[in-house]
């Protein structure tokens, strides 16, 4: 490994650590071919943390050639051996969790404790796929006495993952875990807003013993590096998480290039239904706790809350009190429960939505302002009685702005909840088990939470209905996205 491309940073915890700035191609951290770098910023104070090498088309091609070469050998590596490597990688993540988490907080703005949680959770995802690596089975079929048929679930070969900035560690491991379990080699492009921890994971993958070129990491921008991956004729599969606009672009690009398989996870406008028989304290605390979690930048955020009219005042009061108790500040500080928005672009976009909300006739119940200072901090904001067709009720905001509306009947609220082009998640708060099951089957979303929210685990598939995505991540189902079926038919 070349260490000349590392810079030393002092973390707010006082710890000094070195950060990779190169691209991880063919087992080496290297400079980009054109030598270009870009700054990555600490959203808590707007200061540049480091200048990172920026991948462009030529670097993407280098990575693809290295991946192709690596796959020639990698395709013969046993599932058990792939599992061993993933397992070792997971152990290294756990062992280095404090440093990974501190850098994540510095670059992304997540509270330090939450970064630590997601470091270990991401290691668990790798470990889950380590266990599945040697459990990939086909079927046998005897269709007549003359033929013996069997299926093999084979890798795609050279694959790529393009990931966003809201959960950089989870997104990285949710792509790499099943890709490797399925026998592929993979190139990960991190978000230009949060490139740092992806580079650390690349270094740990190398340390775990993955051969050169099997896992590669590129930092860079969407229209250049991302687009070059989507266009590349020698990449067979791409998995993307991010905005609908970019997801469509990747699908179009795939259609125009080599019809690479595309899986997409594209966010949502997820409805939470709070019925009059719900435990209102639980509903208010769970929804406020999870909505503002991760500085309110979560694809499955319960951004549309519908509460039954008879309990609307009581719920809104409890929910607003819980939101008001949130302490905004440095993500490293004790007692802080909400940190900054990831960068100035997102910050300004969220503020625009708040303005739109004020103009479109919703009632501003709480917050609605930016917080003065150098970082990108916004008050926890609550609107009630929001027009159903308004911008803040229909578009994904990705910031601390939630809408609370009322409903009268189950039928009516189910229809309103489903009246969206999105379908990532939804939830029901009720003590009536029959209603919970009935409403869960009527809601159009890939994940339904009952009397809880945001619980995502490696074992359970995750993905979107409607325009929230194509395909599934996590669970055994994700392996279907990273393998293709070959039928072998033998004459007897
Ligand atoms: P984005 O979709 O532009 O970025 C996500 C990833 O795609 C990044 O790695 C980016 O570099 C890459 N990318 C951008 N353009 C590309 C292209 N033409 N070809 C290939 N890759 C490309 O999202 P962005 O700009 O960071 O955030 C905008 C909005 O997207 C947010 O406000 C939010 O609504 C939504 N979003 C949804 C996420 C989710 O979890 N579903 C995560 C992040 C953002
Ligand atoms: Mg950053």
Mean pLDDT of all residues in 24-38: 97
Would you state the pLDDT for residue 1? 46
Residue 462 belongs to a domain? no
Q: What is the 488 CA–ligand 1 centroid distance (Å)?
A: 40
For every residue of the chain, which 3-state class applies, written as one string? CCCCCEEEEECCCCCEEEEECCEEECCEEECCCCCCEEEEEECCCCEEEEEEECCCHHHHHHHHHHHHHHHHHHCCCCHHHHHHHHHHHHHHHHHCHHHHHHHHHHHHCCCHHHHHHHHHHHHHHHHHHHHHCCCCCCCEEEEECCEEEEEEEEECCEEEEECCCCCHHHHHHHHHHHHHHCCCEEEEECCCCCCHHHHHHHHHHHHHCCCCCCEEEECCCHHHHHHHHHHCCCCCEEEEECCHHHHHHHHHHHHHCCCCEEEEECCCCCEEEECCCCCHHHHHHHHHHHHCHHHHCCCCCCCEEEEEHHHHHHHHHHHHHHHHCCCECCCCCCCCCECCCCCHHHHHHHHHHHHHHHHCCCEEEECCCECCCCCCCECCEEEECCCCCCHHHHCCCCCCEEEEEEECCHHHHHHHHHCCCCCCEEEEECCCHHHHHHHHHHCCCCEEEECCCCCCCCCCCECCCHHHEECCECCCHHHHHCEEEEEEEEEC
Does residue 10 have a pLDDT over 90? no
Does residue 15 have a pLDDT over 90? no
Residue 126 belongs to a domain? yes
Mutate to test the pocket of ligand 1, among 38, 164, 352, 474 (most ligand atoms within 8 A of CB): 164
Number of domains in the chain: 2
Mutate to test the pocket of ligand 1, among 38, 246, 446 (most ligand atoms within 8 A of CB): 246
Residue 6 confidence class, pLDDT cut points 50, 70, 90: confident
161 CB near ligand 1 (under 6 Å): no
Q: What is the 190 CA–ligand 1 centroid distance (Å)?
A: 10
396 CB near ligand 1 (under 6 Å): yes
> 307: domain CATH number?
3.40.309.10
- 54, 104, 192, 265: which is the annotated catalytic residue? 265
Q: In this structure, are 156 and 293 located in the same domain?
A: no
**Catalytic site includes residue 265:** yes
The per-residue pLDDT for range 52-62, each reduced to its tens digit, is 999 999 999 99
189 CB near ligand 1 (under 6 Å): yes
- Whether this prediction's pTM lies above 0.95 is answered by yes
The per-residue pLDDT for range 332-351, each reduced to its tens digit, is 999 999 999 999 999 999 99
> 215: domain CATH number?
3.40.605.10
Q: In this structure, are 41 and 153 located in the same domain?
A: yes
Does residue 145 have a pLDDT over 80? no
Residue 401 belongs to a domain? yes
The per-residue pLDDT for range 265-315, each reduced to its tens digit, is 999 999 999 999 999 999 999 999 999 999 999 999 999 999 999 999 999
């Amino acid at each position: 490994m070349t260490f000349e491309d590392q810079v030393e940073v002092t973390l707010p915890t006082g710890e000094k650590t070195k950060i990779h700035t190169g691209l991880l191609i063919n087992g080496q951290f290297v400079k980009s071919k054109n030598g270009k770098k870009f700054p990555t910023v600490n959203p808590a104070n707007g200061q540049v943390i480091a200048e990172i090498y920026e991948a462009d088309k030529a670097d993407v091609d280098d990575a693809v050639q290295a991946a192709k070469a690596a796959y020639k050998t990698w395709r013969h590596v046993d599932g058990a051996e792939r599992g061993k490597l993933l397992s070792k990688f997971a152990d290294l993540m756990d062992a280095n969790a404090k440093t990974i988490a501190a850098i994540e907080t510095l670059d992304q703005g997540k509270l330090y404790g939450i970064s630590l949680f997601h470091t270990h959770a991401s290691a668990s995802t790798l470990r889950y796929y380590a266990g599945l690596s040697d459990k990939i089975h086909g079927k046998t079929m005897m269709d007549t006495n003359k033929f013996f048929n069997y299926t093999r679930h084979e890798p795609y070969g050279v694959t790529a993952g393009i990931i966003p900035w809201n959960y950089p560690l989870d997104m990285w491991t949710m792509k790499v875990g099943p890709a490797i379990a399925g026998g592929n080699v993979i190139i990960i492009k991190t978000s230009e807003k949060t490139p740092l921890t992806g580079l650390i994971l690349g270094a740990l993958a190398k340390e775990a013993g993955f051969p050169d070129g099997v896992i590669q990491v590129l930092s860079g921008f969407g229209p250049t590096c991302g687009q070059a991956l989507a266009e590349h004729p020698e990449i067979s599969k791409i998995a993307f998480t991010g905005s609908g606009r970019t997801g469509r672009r990747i699908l179009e690009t795939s259609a125009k290039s080599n019809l690479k398989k595309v899986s997409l996870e594209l966010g949502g406008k997820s409805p939470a239904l709070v019925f009059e028989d719900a435990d209102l304290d639980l509903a208010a605390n769970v929804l406020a706790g999870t909505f503002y979690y991760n500085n309110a930048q979560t694809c499955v955020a319960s951004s549309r809350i519908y509460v039954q009219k008879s309990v609307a005042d009581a719920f809104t009061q409890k929910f607003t009190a819980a939101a008001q108790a949130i302490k905004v500040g440095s993500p490293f500080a004790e007692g802080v429960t909400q940190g900054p928005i990831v960068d100035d672009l997102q910050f300004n976009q969220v503020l625009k939505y708040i303005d739109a909300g004020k103009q479109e006739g919703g009632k501003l119940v709480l917050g609605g302002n930016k917080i003065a200072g150098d970082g990108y901090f916004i008050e926890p904001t609550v609107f009630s009685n929001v027009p159903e067709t308004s911008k803040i009720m229909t578009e994904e905001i990705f910031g601390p702005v939630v809408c609370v509306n009322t409903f009268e009947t189950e039928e009516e609220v189910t229809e309103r909840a489903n009246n969206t082009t999105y379908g990532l998640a939804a939830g029901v708060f009720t003590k009536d088990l029959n209603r919970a099951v009935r409403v869960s089957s009527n809601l159009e979303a890939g994940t339904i939470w009952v009397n809880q929210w945001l619980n995502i685990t490696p074992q359970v598939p995750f993905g979107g209905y409607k325009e929230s995505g194509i395909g599934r991540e996590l669970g055994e189902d994700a392996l279907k996205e990273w393998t293709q079926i070959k039928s072998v038919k033998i004459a007897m």
